[in-house]
Structure 1
Amino acid sequence: MNEQHIDTLLNAMTLEEQVSLLAGASFWMTVPVERLGIPAIKVSDGPNGARGGGSLVGGVKAASFPVAISLASTWNTALVAQVGQALGQEAHSKGARVLLAPTVNLHRSTQNGRNFECYSEDPFLSAQVCVAYIQGVQGEGVGATVKHYVGNESEFERMSISSEIDERALRELYLVPFEAAVKEARTWAVMCAYNKLNGTFASENRRLLTDILKREWGFDGVVMSDWFATHTTVESVNAGLDLEMPGPTKHRGQKLLEAVRAGEVHAETLQDSARRVLRLLTRVGAFERPAPAEEQAIDRPEHRALIRRAGVEGTVLLKNDGVLPLDPKQLKKLALIGPNVQTAQIMGGGSAQVNAHYRVSPYEGIQAQLGEGVELAYEAGCSNHKLLPLLQGQLSAEYFSNRDLSGEAVSGPSVAQAEVMWSTEPAPGVNADSFSARLSTRFTPVEDGEHHFGLVSAGLSRLFVNGQLVVDNWGAWKQGETYFGAGSQEATGTLRLQVGHAYDVTIEYATPAEGVMGLRAVRAGVTLPLGTEHLERAAQLAASCDVALVFVGHNGEWDSEGQDRSHMELVGRQNELIERVASANPNTVVVLQTGSPVSLPWLDKVAGVLQAWYPGQEAGNAIADVLFGAADPSGRLPQTFPVRLEDNAAHAHYPGGNGKVRYGEGLFVGYRHHDTKNIAPLFPFGFGLSYTTFAYGGLRMSAESLQPGDTLTVTLDVTNTGQRAGQEVVQLYVRDERASLPRPEKELKGFCKVDLRPGETKTVTLTLGMRALAYFDDARAAWVAEAGRFEVLVGSSSRDLRARAAFTLQRDWVQPLERSQAAF
């Protein structure tokens, strides 16, 4: 269907039908117009998997890919495009036409709870990765939705806070990935952020949605709200918000009809938004190909292989004193220590999570790699949970059509584990909005001791053991950060249990009278806490082994949408565990799994450190591939690791207060801050070690003098000087030696990942346009590259520069915003 057909269809619609297109029908579906054969389409979260229309817990299984910070760590846009293509295929398996991804907000701080879901601190790297991702997704006929537009760099008060961002920082940093998504990738959808920008909600900010996005950049797709982020009728439609999600509508429908009839919204404005929705339906093939009604869990071998490869390429080797890669022939006994050994930490929390087909733990991955030749010994040492570990085992369920568990119970389907999120009626005939439930199971402890039980719930809950009330989250319910702020704090209770005895555990639940986003959920956990004796056991084990591998970090409870972190430390006693193990065995290697930089106070005491992030369902296999040298560690950091929290550029302004967060650091985020202020990082932006070595040489430029509008081509030779095949990431930074306005010391403007066999040399070619030399002059509302001398700096990180050359721009290049179509 072409534009003419869209216009014909639009002209055949009644005003009521046009209005109906501008809000969702349900949580994941748009509204159909059956009279004219206009279908509804399904949208789906999220960036590292296609969950489909199920809840955040359970649901149809899906492939879990590496999270965004891991993908950006690959610095491999061709690989990211393949991941995008696979995610488009995953979306098809769930009957979804639109994927709510990618997330391209910047790593302004290390504390953002959604740091893992975003690519980088650098706008150019974020832009190039997001372009590749979008092109991969949309190449499969699935719409990508770049988000969150704009200024959502923290989760603190995200529903209401105003991000106060100066024009230069907005243009040179935070808008750049969105601009690239529109101009280069031609994304089909954009999602507004929850927050305000400079005092106006993003979803009703006319300057953002119409002036910049639609007019200046020429965006012709759909602008949708984040879920429940539409606040007005007239203001949001007139600002350029096309689609209110989710449905049923709160601010469109009859309210919008009345606004049009009253002349508060022009018919042309309404038609433009309706046309954009029809255009999206056309682009995703909704008119020609009906989506399957049933969601499918298709575990594709090619996706398994791709996830493993992407997980490997995103793993960053931060330190290696020669212990890596491990040689199985030199090992008799290997210690696997830490809370992440037997738990596969594959993704962050929040709307990005999926019900993975499977999860490979580090223990399983290493065991598969080694076979029977090496003895594996395990100790947890300590824990790293935020919520008590989930109570495992099948639970029976019965429901009541009231909130006090009275009357006749209705049996429902059994529950696979003790976390449930209800999005529809829980059992036939039971009111989905007002019900209570009783979940029952039996728990058999494996050790004697004082067990801790915990409950969190969006709604009221309580837990009984053998009929005894142990956790009261009913009469003593307190608001917490769980379930996007709709849930409680974790309520806990203790009870001494005996090993081998089976105990009846009953969880009672009632839906909330009112709730954020209409969420209804409960989660029960149980644990026997680990004490100092477990740290000592871990150290003793390490002393008896050839090498000690310590698997530490966080999980989706700490790295999650809806909450930020207050510090940069590893949680619990993990730092103490590493110190003790390293003291017992000098061949200690730490494998970190976090969604952001953390402090490493023990760095000089260990032999090796790997940053593995959250690499998806193949986590253990990808980590083992790097540890044992089946693959070269070719990941490079997309975010600076500061020595301490106070070294973050945004530290003095984070997270804000009184309804505002001031981006007072301006342009100087990440390495720009460290370079300009001469603050040494723990690990610089772009850093990452390899199992081989590389030499740079022969830097050449296509010209030493440029005229406005010229393009500069930079070439250089890279040689693998080691004994193993490897991949090097060549990074090109640009330095303006003298500018009228303050500028960072240097800025990333090009990169290339190159595969090299031992002794092999390849020539890398990178191209710079005028925008690569320019800053944004807010007084002139224009991009400006000033006449004068520039340097190109080429190296393997922002602090490891191997070659440089200078050139001169003969005259000023000025590009006003209305003509801002230059390539990046």
Structure 2
Amino acid sequence: MTDTIHRPPGAVDVDALLDGLTLEEQVSLLAGADFWRTVAIPRVNVPSLKVSDGPAGVRGGGPLIGAMKTAAYPVGIALGSTWNVNLLREVGASLAREALDKGAGVLLAPTINVFRSALNGRNFENYAEDPVLTGRLAVAYVQGLQENGVAATPKHFAGNESEYQRGTISSDIPARAMRELYLRPFEMVVREADPWAIMTAYNRLDGTYCSEHPWLLETVLRKEWGFSGLVMSDWGGTHSAGESVRAGLDLEMPGPARARAGLLAEAQADPATAAAVKERARAVLRLIERTGTFANPRDVSDSAEKDTEYPETRALIRRAGAEGMVLLKNAGGVLPLPAGASVAVVGPNAAAAQVMGGGSAQMNAHRRVSPLDGLREAPGAGAVTTAVGCDNDKFLPVPQVPVHVEYRAHAGGDVAATDDRPQAEVMWFAYPEGVNPLDFHGTLTLTVHAPQDGAYDFSLASAGLSRLSVDGQELVDNWDAWRQGDTYFNFGSDEVRERTTLTAGPHTVTVTFQPHVIDNGIAGFNAVRIGFRAEPDEGSVAQAAAVAAAADYAVVCIGTNGDWETEGVDRWGLGLPGRQDELVAAVRAANPNTIVVLQTGGPVTMPWLDSVPAVLQAWFPGQEAGHAIADVLYGRAEPGGRLPQTFPASLKDDPTHPLNPDVQYPGVEGHVEYREGLYTGYRHVDRAGITPLFPFGFGLSYTTFELSSPALSAASVGAGESVTASVQVKNTGSRAGSTVVQLYVRDRESSLDRPAKELKAFAKVHLQPGQIQTVTLPVDMRDLAYYDDGQGAWVAEAGDFDLLIGQSSTDLPHTLRLSLSTDWKEPTA
């Protein structure tokens, strides 16, 4: 064994340190130590580095359910709706402080896959359907994080545009679409923000897993774009030892090593693998150095995490949440609400604060302010009444009651350890001392209360085997009947429900649990969800309509929640679940002043749209949701959002469905073919000649704007030159507000087929009444170019281009003509 390397505090020679490591030590760095930490090497003072899930908050090292409290920020699509680069940088900086409070030097964020299908389960985590909008926002977010010492990890690289069979499916993407749409945001963020890490996608790309794809990781990412950071797998997404190392994957997560368990033997037998191991270990050490962890090793234990809630963070979340809300309709200026008016706040999302989506993006928020809370607490609010009307549950609600857990080595054995959890959903990421995560028998005990005699539903969903008994009588069998389903990232079962009759009062619920590892599962990942509710009241919609009729205004809070919008399973369709459409119709019939507040992670159909005067798309805006919604409804904040995704009128207008809905989406025999090529979102709308429900870039304000005097800095450019377009923006209304100036490029004649227009630049403008501002937007060669896979190059052909300027993809009143005098080409190889 070599001697301990001594170095002055804060100064690390990574090359010298690497040379002093044994091959075994180098290999040890290439898989995590546990779920959230890298391996430490005390002999040479290499500390452990902690990572944490993002992107809408920093959960820390705890479980997805019941971890230490933390700040919950607006989800990705809500931030994307702001079109505000400066705000994204501010959010990144704020998240850096949150990460350091949790002992984490790496945030697993941002999520920057572009929207391909409206049914993507992680739609809510991403920013936009357009690569330039996604890329610009991602660059700012990464810069904000890393300027404050925390590594960003843009994900999921690449081709992860749906959740169906995501762990194995091959995304078969045409070369031009791959370059122009799906790689473009990653290219922008690598070249412009230099992220210190990147995460590979679960899926395969044209048949090869992304985590062991030499073209993706070496040819494109490192050689072409100059990426200098660390490449890690998604959790459980490493599939080989030496092959993934040689392909360019630095770190297998989580640990201990699973796919790389035999890596040392491979490296000892193969010099090429040993050389690749050294390069991969260099990347791990460099990330530790870049995050300042050598100079200031953090206490990365979960017990050392802070749950500090900063007033300025709360204010930022509230402001960002409001700025991302999109006012879709405001007939007759029904909004803002007048002070003192009585308001009925009804719907399944009225008293329930839907602040985030599900999956790895969820966290234990400091606060969850519901729309009902926000409207009741709003300055100037009048009388506020409420009714649920209907539910929008995918699963039965989880009882928010204490749960006592007993651990035994086997059924009927002595209690080896105990644990207490705050609610009836448990996800194990840590275990009491002496408990084997792969082999234990757990007993969970809780008490539920039946408010009256009647029928009640119980349910179980589990990653592992489970049974549920009520007052000693077995009711739900999810043990012998266990089948792999859609819960817990597809590692769990589907929900199993049973109904029973209860008398009013307390009842003891007991659940037995045992681990059950499935193929491609993560060993030691165990979870169980207990559901409970009374049989639904069929008259609830009418009751809500009656409450609405008695108020001046009705605010109907509908949408989805983190059970519907989540990782591991795609969305159900474009219709709202349950009786929500019926509820809107009933409330509108009872009160003409009906405002719909819609909280979803993506587009939905709105059969009631023509009948209601106002619709506000509020997304999942973070922990201050209710306050942000109230701010917009009462006009204290501008509805600053513009749609980052086309809202189709029906599913048949979604670009992945018209041609071959099986092959094109969700996939057949392990392959999903991106047959639509370049034509997603507004590009598809233009080519198909369809009218969307709402177009890309659309959003109303509480004021009005006029664009005038468009101009170019030069009418003609040569190869390699750039130009700027300018336009004057005037606030023609009576109050302050914001708009987004958008510039699209149209190639008037091209050798290859191109979309009718493509977004290339944008700017968010905030103006006082009557104020005029000149907005300048840059246009360079890449903005004029397409990717020619035959030449392996970006090509802008000599000729004329139209620069279209306006406030949405269908509102582009100004056209400027730009001529390119000579061809321009930029090879990628």
**By the TM > 0.5 criterion, same fold?**
yes
Distance between the aligned counterparts of 2:379 and 2:161, measured in 1?
A: 42
User: What whole-Å deviation, never above 9, does each CA across 1:668-710 have from its counterpart, x for those lacking one?
Assistant: 1100010122111110000000000000011110011111111
Distance between the aligned counterparts of 2:369 and 2:397, measured in 1?
A: 18
Change (3 A) 1:447 1:729: farther
1:361 is matched with 370
2:46 is matched with 38
Which SS does the other structure have where 1:718 is aligned? strand
Distance between the aligned counterparts of 2:21 and 2:413, measured in 1?
A: 49
1:154 is matched with 162
CA deviation after TM superposition for structure 1 residue 530, in Å: 2.7
Change (3 A) 1:258 1:464: closer
CA deviation after TM superposition for structure 1 residue 411, in Å: 5.5
Q: Does 1:592 align with 2:598?
A: yes
513, 521, 525: which one pairs with 1:509?
513
Which SS does the other structure have where 1:526 is aligned? strand
Q: Does 1:621 align with 2:627?
A: yes
Q: Does 1:794 align with 2:782?
A: no
2:641 is matched with 635
One-letter code aligned to 2:665: Y
* Aligned positions, number: 811
Unpaired runs of 5+ in structure 1? Answer: 819-824
Distance between the aligned counterparts of 2:280 and 2:268, measured in 1?
A: 17
Q: Does 1:468 align with 2:473?
A: yes
Which SS does the other structure have where 1:396 is aligned? strand
1:62 is matched with 70
Q: Does 1:279 align with 2:283?
A: no
Distance between the aligned counterparts of 1:502 and 1:790, measured in 2?
A: 72
Q: Does 1:732 align with 2:743?
A: yes
1:821 is matched with none
Distance between the aligned counterparts of 1:775 and 1:422, measured in 2?
A: 48
One-letter code aligned to 1:780: Q
2:19 is matched with 11
Q: How does 1:660-671 map to 2 (within 5 A)?
A: 660-671=671-682
- Aligned-pair identity (%): 52
1:312 is matched with 322
Whether the 8 Å contact between 1:317 and 1:689 is mirrored in structure 2 is yes
CA RMSD between the two structures = 1.6
Distance between the aligned counterparts of 2:578 and 2:218, measured in 1?
A: 47
1:722 is matched with 733
Q: Does 1:104 align with 2:112?
A: yes
One-letter code aligned to 1:604: D
1:781 is matched with 792
Q: How does 1:335-414 map to 2 (within 5 A)?
A: 335-370=344-379, 374-402=382-410, 404=411, 406-410=412-416, 412-414=418-420
CA deviation after TM superposition for structure 1 residue 449, in Å: 2.4
Q: How does 1:128-139 map to 2 (within 5 A)?
A: 128-139=136-147
1:540 is matched with 546
TM-score, normalising length: structure 2 = 0.96
Distance between the aligned counterparts of 2:720 and 2:581, measured in 1?
A: 53
Moved more, 362-371 or 570-579: 362-371
Which SS does the other structure have where 2:610 is aligned? helix
Whether the 8 Å contact between 2:93 and 2:148 is mirrored in structure 1 is yes
Q: Does 1:684 align with 2:728?
A: no
CA deviation after TM superposition for structure 1 residue 301, in Å: 0.7
Which SS does the other structure have where 1:609 is aligned? strand
Q: How does 1:319-334 map to 2 (within 5 A)?
A: 319-329=329-339, 331=341, 333-334=342-343
Moved more, 729-738 or 507-516: 507-516
User: What whole-Å deviation, never above 9, does each CA across 1:125-175 have from its counterpart, x for those lacking one?
Assistant: 000010011001111111101111100000001000000001100000000
Distance between the aligned counterparts of 2:479 and 2:29, measured in 1?
A: 41
Which SS does the other structure have where 1:525 is aligned? strand
One-letter code aligned to 1:660: H
Whether the 8 Å contact between 2:129 and 2:680 is mirrored in structure 1 is yes
Q: Does 1:184 align with 2:188?
A: no
Distance between the aligned counterparts of 1:326 and 1:739, measured in 2?
A: 47
2:222 is matched with 214
Distance between the aligned counterparts of 2:460 and 2:721, measured in 1?
A: 63
CA deviation after TM superposition for structure 1 residue 497, in Å: 2.5
Distance between the aligned counterparts of 1:10 and 1:323, measured in 2?
A: 66
Distance between the aligned counterparts of 1:415 and 1:2, measured in 2?
A: 41
Which SS does the other structure have where 1:412 is aligned? strand
1:262 is matched with 269
User: What whole-Å deviation, never above 9, does each CA across 1:225-248 have from its counterpart, x for those lacking one?
Assistant: 111111112221111111111111
CA deviation after TM superposition for structure 1 residue 330, in Å: 5.6
Unpaired runs of 5+ in structure 2? Answer: 1-8
Whether the 8 Å contact between 2:340 and 2:382 is mirrored in structure 1 is no
Change (3 A) 1:629 1:289: same
Q: Does 1:175 align with 2:183?
A: yes
One-letter code aligned to 1:335: A
Whether the 8 Å contact between 1:729 and 1:751 is mirrored in structure 2 is yes
Moved more, 320-329 or 353-362: 320-329
Q: Does 1:200 align with 2:208?
A: yes
CA deviation after TM superposition for structure 1 residue 274, in Å: 1.6
Distance between the aligned counterparts of 2:367 and 2:273, measured in 1?
A: 51
Distance between the aligned counterparts of 1:90 and 1:223, measured in 2?
A: 23
Q: Does 1:649 align with 2:649?
A: no
1:612 is matched with 618
1:482 is matched with 487
One-letter code aligned to 1:384: N
Moved more, 511-520 or 605-614: 511-520
Distance between the aligned counterparts of 2:403 and 2:254, measured in 1?
A: 31
Q: Runs ≥4 in structure 1, deviation > 6 angstroms? A: 1-4
CA deviation after TM superposition for structure 1 residue 621, in Å: 0.5
One-letter code aligned to 1:38: V
User: What whole-Å deviation, never above 9, does each CA across 1:746-766 have from its counterpart, x for those lacking one?
Assistant: 000000001100110111111
Whether the 8 Å contact between 2:35 and 2:429 is mirrored in structure 1 is no
Whether the 8 Å contact between 2:242 and 2:273 is mirrored in structure 1 is no
Whether the 8 Å contact between 1:162 and 1:197 is mirrored in structure 2 is yes
Distance between the aligned counterparts of 2:276 and 2:413, measured in 1?
A: 52
Moved more, 807-816 or 469-478: 469-478
Which SS does the other structure have where 1:801 is aligned? coil
Distance between the aligned counterparts of 1:753 and 1:495, measured in 2?
A: 56
Moved more, 432-441 or 217-226: 432-441
2:526 is matched with 520
Moved more, 389-398 or 595-604: 389-398
Which SS does the other structure have where 2:402 is aligned? strand
CA deviation after TM superposition for structure 1 residue 3, in Å: 10
User: What whole-Å deviation, never above 9, does each CA across 1:738-790 have from its counterpart, x for those lacking one?
Assistant: 10100000000000001100110111111011000000011100100111110
Distance between the aligned counterparts of 2:349 and 2:19, measured in 1?
A: 59
Which SS does the other structure have where 1:443 is aligned? strand
Q: Does 1:296 align with 2:306?
A: yes
CA deviation after TM superposition for structure 1 residue 474, in Å: 2.1
Distance between the aligned counterparts of 1:303 and 1:419, measured in 2?
A: 28
Distance between the aligned counterparts of 2:26 and 2:470, measured in 1?
A: 56
Distance between the aligned counterparts of 1:513 and 1:648, measured in 2?
A: 37
TM-score, normalising length: structure 1 = 0.96
User: What whole-Å deviation, never above 9, does each CA across 1:612-645 have from its counterpart, x for those lacking one?
Assistant: 1101100000111001101111100000000000
Distance between the aligned counterparts of 1:3 and 1:23, measured in 2?
A: 25
One-letter code aligned to 1:221: G
1:822 is matched with none
2:438 is matched with 433
Whether the 8 Å contact between 1:114 and 1:155 is mirrored in structure 2 is yes
Which SS does the other structure have where 1:336 is aligned? strand
2:4 is matched with none
Moved more, 181-190 or 454-463: 454-463
570, 576, 585: which one pairs with 2:582?
576
One-letter code aligned to 1:361: S
CA deviation after TM superposition for structure 1 residue 324, in Å: 3.7
CA deviation after TM superposition for structure 1 residue 496, in Å: 2.0
Q: Does 1:71 align with 2:79?
A: yes
Whether the 8 Å contact between 1:335 and 1:376 is mirrored in structure 2 is yes
Distance between the aligned counterparts of 1:420 and 1:704, measured in 2?
A: 63
Whether the 8 Å contact between 1:328 and 1:370 is mirrored in structure 2 is no
